[in-house]
Every structure is written in C-alpha cells, then in structure tokens.
Structure 1
Amino acid sequence: MYDYLIVGAGLYGAVFAQQAIKKGKKVLVIEKRDHIAGNAYCEKRAGINVHKFGAHIFHTSNEEVWEYVNQFASFNNYVNSPLANYKGKIYNLPFNMNTFYQMWGTITPDEAKAEIDKQREKYKDTEPSNLEEQALFLGGEDIYEKLIKGYTEKQWGRPATEIPSFIIKRLPFRFTYNNNYFNDPYQGIPKGGYNVLVENLLKGAEVKLGVDFLENKEHYKSIADKIIYTGEIDQYFDYQYGQLEYRSLKFEHELKEDCDNYQGNAVVNYTEREVPFTRIIEHKHFEFGTQPQTVITREYPMDWEKGMEPYYPINDDRNNALYEKYKSLGEADEKVIFGGRLGEYKYYDMDKVIASALKKAEEIL
C-alpha cells in the first residue's frame, strides 16, 4: 500500500510528491506519457534543451514559490522580451515606448498617449460586445490591426467579432522603454531545463512512466490511501455530463543544421492572420546557448477533439457550469483530490500551479 498515488508527473504532481515524501509518506507517481515534467518537458537536441510543448518561462511575484523552486534547480536570469512580426516589420512586446516609436515615431510618453487617445476617439462611446470592439475601444486601430487581431483570431480559431469582449479586459500599455514582458521580480529558466527541476522534486518517489491510470482505475485506487489526480476531471468521470472544451496546439520542430542563430530572439509572434502559426520559438536563446546549430519550433493553435492534447481550457459560461458539476462529483469522493490545470479546469501559470500544490499539501498532510 502507498500513502499517496499521484496521477501525472507534471509540476502539480511533482510538488505534491516532494511535500509528501518530506513528511515520510510512501508515494507512487504514475504518468501516461513516457517522460516526466508534463508540458514543461525539455528534449535535448543538438545540445539544446527544446521546450517540446511550447515556451515555458518561469516568472513569479511570490517570493515563497521562488525560494521553493530554487531548492531544486538553479535558475538563469532569462527575461522574456518577445517580438511581434507583422508583415515583415518588427515590434517590441509588451506594448511600450519602443512599440509606439516603431508604430508612429513617437518619442515621449505624452506623444504616445496623445496618439492612442486620437485613435480611440471614435470608439469611446461604444459599448463593446465582442473582442474586436473592446480592443478598438481600448487602443484604437493600429495596435488592434497590427498586433492583436490576427494573432487572437489564430489563437481562438474564430473571427474577433465572435470572441467575447471579456478576453481583453484591458490593454497593458507601458509608457517606458522597457521590453520586459512580465512585471514579476523573479523570472528565469532552470539551468539544464525543466527536467532537472522535476527530477529533483520527484526524488524519493517511485515513478512509473507509460502507465494509464484510467485503464485500470479500480486497481490503482485499491493500492493507495489517497489519490492525487491531475488529469482531465471529465475524463475521470467518463464524461457523464458531457465533454469540457479546450484549445489545442500543434508544434513543428526543426533543426537548422547550417544556422547558429535563426531569429535573434527566443520568441517571435506572427500577428498577421495569413501566417498560419502564431509564433516561432528559438530554444537556445532561453539558456543563452552558443551551439553551432539551432532548433526552432512553429506553434499552431488548433481546435481540440477528444484524444488530442488539451492545452487551454475554454472558460466560458457553458464550460464553467459543466466543470462545476464535475467538481461536485470530485468533492463527493473522499479518496481522490483533483488538482492542476486539467483537474481544476483552469489555466495556470507555473508559479500558480506550484503554489496551489503547496497549499493543497499543507491542507491534507
């Protein structure tokens, strides 16, 4: 018998495992995939740690979480400063004074604010009913057309006029020449990739890869006092109320054997609708690599279907109401605790999922 069976070797499961082991508990971690670290998994290629499931950049304002992860990995000082490519022209992100200069030639904050106000003027009395109207209301036409419209439509797989306005509650205009995407004081990439972090978190646990909990659910429930389940909550309950919806992603990884630096930046967003991918990631720049070759990844948003990898929960009214039904079923099962992005049907930044796992561990250990 195990004290805890943890289903899923991603960050939530690994953090909970570490906390349980620290308390002297006997822990088994099973993972359906053939690797640990969930979507943060890094695959070594040409000496480069490739973020196989999209860019994962650790950032947090939570000092407790930052001190916690630094016990298990050393972090470099990578600062996320993505670029946007719109029809061959480059703009800095997030929207800051560099962006406004590239867009309009404005130099001072007052000049930039005046241009934004002028662009917003004809939309100021509208009551936005969709994302397009909301973005025009907040920032005017240039910012919307060049940096928001195409990218967002690709992400959501539908016209901006059919996307709810609440998706863009505000636009983060920054009136300084500062390309640091996050406001968090702590950010970086684990040296050697996220596998190092998760391997160290899982020390002391028994780990089995390539094991599907749901194929033998009753057996696995019988061998542990408690189950920590980080998979899809609706799938656990055999979709008895229907399926929760997600957006998915497709990744095209490419080794550039005759190139040591493809785009000069880790992340470049492609914001025009006609380019089918949303961004290109060049992985070596996350760790300031000097390898003679480089690996790039094109990222394509996709509609999700059962059996595909679920990435982004679609937290609209219908899906949230459906999740509440599954949540009630989960709360009625005293043996199983549902956690993480799929177990709680919530988009989590990495620091938030770690904080959630630490909190849950504190509650029940």
Structure 2
Amino acid sequence: MKHRHILLVGASFSGAVIGRELAEAGHRVTVAEARSHVAGNCHTERDPETGVMVHIYGPHIFHTDDVEVWAYVNRFAQFRPYTNRVKITARGQVFSLPVNLHTINQFFGSTMRPDAARAFIAERSDTSITDPQTFEEQALRFIGRELYETFFKGYTAKQWGRHPHDLPASILKRLPVRFSYDDNYFSHEFQGMPAHGYTALVQTMLDHPNIEVVLNTTIDQAAASGYDHVFYSGPIDAWFGHALGRLAYRTLDFHRFSCEGDYQGCAVMNYADKDIPWTRITEHKHLSPWESHEGSVLYREHPRECGPGDIPYYPIRLVTEKQMLAEYVERAQAVRGITFVGRLGTYRYLDMDVTVREALDTARHYLACLERGTAMPAFTTSPL
C-alpha cells in the first residue's frame, strides 16, 4: 500500500489519535494546530507560583466503560485513580451531586430508605407529562418541582442562556438520580486522571518519527491542498467560511483567583442559584489529589454566547442550528479528500472517551478504504 501524506487539522484527542494510528501504519502525518499548545481544551499546565496542575479550559476527568479505549490512553500516560465527587451550593446549603439519597434526605429533612425515597419522589413527579420534550418537562416528570427548581432551573438557565422550557429533554437525560448514597458523579468502570496532565499524554501520542506538529498555524481550504487526505477537527462551519451562517455555541469566561490553603474542600462546586453569576468554581489542586500544594488556584466559570474569536465549548443544537448543520453536512458530503471529526467537526457534545473511540474507528476506516481502493467518507459518525 502506497504511503500517503495526511494532514490533521487540530492537535486535540481526535487529531492525536488518528495521527498516531496512521503514523504507525507508515504514513507521513502533519498535525497543524492553531493554538500554541497541543491537547485542545484538555490542555493542562503547571502554575508557576503554586506548582498546581491547572486544567486551563476547565476540568476534564477521563471516564469510560470502553476497555480498548482505556487500554489505549494508558499506553501513553500513567493514569491515577480519581473519583469525581461534585458538590452544589443551593439556597444557602451544600448538597451532593448527582441527586442521590443523601441529597434527597438532606433537602427534605428526612431519613428515608431507598424504596421510601423512590416512592416519595414518584409522588412529587408530574405524571401528566407522558412524553417529555423539553428539559423542564423531563425534570418535572421524573424528580418533581422542588428538586427541579432548587438544583436545575437556575443552573441550566445560566449554563445555556435559555429557559429550560426552550431546551431539549436530552440534556437532562445525562444527569442521573440515585436512590443510594453513591455520590460518584460517573458510573463508568474506568475513571482516572493522567498523572502528569493531558498535555503530556497528547504530546506522547504525537511523539512519532512520522508525525510533524506545527503550532500557531491556522489551516483553510487553500492551505490544505496538496495532501492526500485531510482530517479536520475544527468547526465545520468555519471550514466553509461560515457561508450559511455561524453554528451556535456557548463559551466560558474563566475568572482566576488564588489563595493559601484549601478554599472549598473539593474540585468542583456548582452554584444553582440564578442570582449568583457563575455556574461553578474549580479548585484545581483537588483534581490531582496525589499531590500536595500549600497554595491553590481556582477558576470561576461564567458561560455566555460564543462570538467570533471566542473558544466554542458547548454546541447548542436547537432546531435552527440543526437545520443549518444539515446544510453544512450536505456540503461536506459533496467534497472529496476531507473527513470531519471530533466535537467541532461534527457539532456534537463528546466526552473524551467517545472522542478517542471515534478517532480510532475513523483511522481504521481510512486504512480499510486504502486497502479496498474506495473513497473515505466525509463523516464516519453522522452529525445528525
């Protein structure tokens, strides 16, 4: 099989995994990254004053049930066990998330056992809502008005900039309610944190003689010509010059502050009340509990609409955006020699493990297409 020269646009997990797989198959790979560092929004770096490992674009915890993906990332970094235990401040008290038996008993001033709590919440649920379509309907149907208005209504309005009755029910389906005292935010078999940060992990992935990494480099259609194939993990609408309009995202402003000692006693503290302008505070040293630091670095997160020049975080994917996305997908499918990958390339919210899985599958699909002599599609996972 003839070895190809492949361009990867973006040095995040999508680009790093695809690039590594193709490089190991003997192909020449160029990875172009617009920022001054690799790892995308997972980028981590040491704070020079405190020595704390800071998640520059917000906290990232690796969690998965995918055995192959877990083994794959462990090839490139030592992972330390990490359990994500999130707290939330609401109405002057601190509770555990996700909503669990402790949260329920604390909120209602009770000592219910699991079955009693399940029946109690069922009594408060709005059973007249048989087919929840919105975030608000989903919450009212399954947890009732008291828990919804305390823990979800204000936080959601801040996070998305929209009333919960304007958001799809699918957003809330990712948030479990547990009738046990399990306060592990995730339920996956494998959970951990790379001991030396995500940037070191991605740098190791990209450390191969067939891979060239070029930072501070923006790639457009003209700059991408001359390669045998392009894998693009930037925003799909940007590739087409926003010809059909800009897809909507939420972005985050991080307000950094520091202190001596321990500020909040946990890595992530959410703030549910609408009159508090931030959604959460991250205390970064608690994301590396195997380390010890006297000083502490913290970020307050303020979500807002994403404008030109901002970093896109969360695709909104409401009706108008889905219509625009469908038109961009149609354009993409009419182009040969490029495959759109990752969160921005497919305009989907993706956890890190799903990103790695899709990147592995995409690289294998490309190699299979070369073997068969068939064309590589624009998408290996449909954005729609």
Q: Distance in 2 between matches of 1:303 and 1:26?
A: 39
1:220 to 200, 209, 224: 224
Q: Which residue of 2 aligns with 1:102?
A: 106
2:122 to 105, 117, 120: 117
Q: Which residue of 1 aligns with 2:279?
A: 278
SS in 1 for 2:95: strand
Q: Which residue of 1 aligns with 2:144?
A: 140
TM, length-normalised to structure 2: 0.89
Structure 1 residue 22 and structure 2 residue 17: aligned? no
1:37 to 24, 36, 39: 39
Q: Distance in 1 between matches of 2:287 and 2:148?
A: 29
Q: Which residue of 1 aligns with 2:12?
A: 10
After TM superposition, the structure 1 = structure 2 runs for residues 255-274 of structure 1, keeping only pairs within 5 Å, are 255-256=258-259, 259-274=260-275
- Structure 1 counterpart of 2:365, which letter? E
Mapped contact 2:30–2:212 kept (Cα < 8 A): yes
Task: Give the unaligned 5+ runs of structure 1.
Answer: none
Q: Which residue of 1 aligns with 2:194?
A: 190
Q: Which residue of 2 aligns with 1:308?
A: 310
Tell me the CA shift for residue 86 of structure 1. Answer: 0.7
Q: Which residue of 1 aligns with 2:298?
A: 296
RMSD over equivalenced CA pairs, Å: 1.7
Tell me the CA shift for residue 176 of structure 1. Answer: 1.3
Tell me the CA shift for residue 323 of structure 1. Answer: 1.4
SS in 1 for 2:224: helix
Mapped contact 1:86–1:146 kept (Cα < 8 A): yes
Question: Residue by residue, what CA displacement relative to the aligned partner does 1:248-279 show, whole Å, maximum 9, x if unpaired?
Answer: 111112222xx221111111110110111111
Mapped contact 1:139–1:171 kept (Cα < 8 A): no
After TM superposition, the structure 1 = structure 2 runs for residues 159-198 of structure 1, keeping only pairs within 5 Å, are 159-169=163-173, 172-198=176-202
Q: Which residue of 2 aligns with 1:210?
A: 216
Mapped contact 2:122–2:142 kept (Cα < 8 A): no
- Structure 2 counterpart of 1:136, which letter? L
After TM superposition, the structure 1 = structure 2 runs for residues 247-262 of structure 1, keeping only pairs within 5 Å, are 247-256=250-259, 259-262=260-263
Alignment length, in residue pairs?
358
Q: Distance in 2 between matches of 1:173 and 1:164?
A: 18
Q: Which moved more, 1:229-238 or 1:328-337?
A: 328-337
Q: Distance in 2 between matches of 1:5 and 1:126?
A: 50
SS in 2 for 1:213: coil
SS in 2 for 1:76: strand
Question: Residue by residue, what CA displacement relative to the aligned partner does 1:65-92 show, whole Å, maximum 9, x if unpaired?
Answer: 0000000001110111101111331111
Q: Distance in 2 between matches of 1:339 and 1:68?
A: 19
Q: Which moved more, 1:268-277 or 1:309-318?
A: 309-318
SS in 1 for 2:76: coil
Task: Give the unaligned 5+ runs of structure 2.
Answer: 368-384
Question: Residue by residue, what CA displacement relative to the aligned partner does 1:168-187 show, whole Å, maximum 9, x if unpaired?
Answer: 34862211111111110001
TM, length-normalised to structure 1: 0.94
Q: Distance in 2 between matches of 1:115 and 1:306?
A: 48
Q: Which residue of 1 aligns with 2:356?
A: 354
1:242 to 224, 242, 245: 245
Q: Distance in 1 between matches of 2:174 and 2:11?
A: 35
Q: Which residue of 2 aligns with 1:87?
A: 91
Q: Distance in 2 between matches of 1:160 and 1:58?
A: 28
Q: Distance in 1 between matches of 2:185 and 2:169?
A: 23
Tell me the CA shift for residue 111 of structure 1. Answer: 2.6
Q: Distance in 1 between matches of 2:347 and 2:284?
A: 28
SS in 2 for 1:35: coil
Mapped contact 1:57–1:80 kept (Cα < 8 A): yes
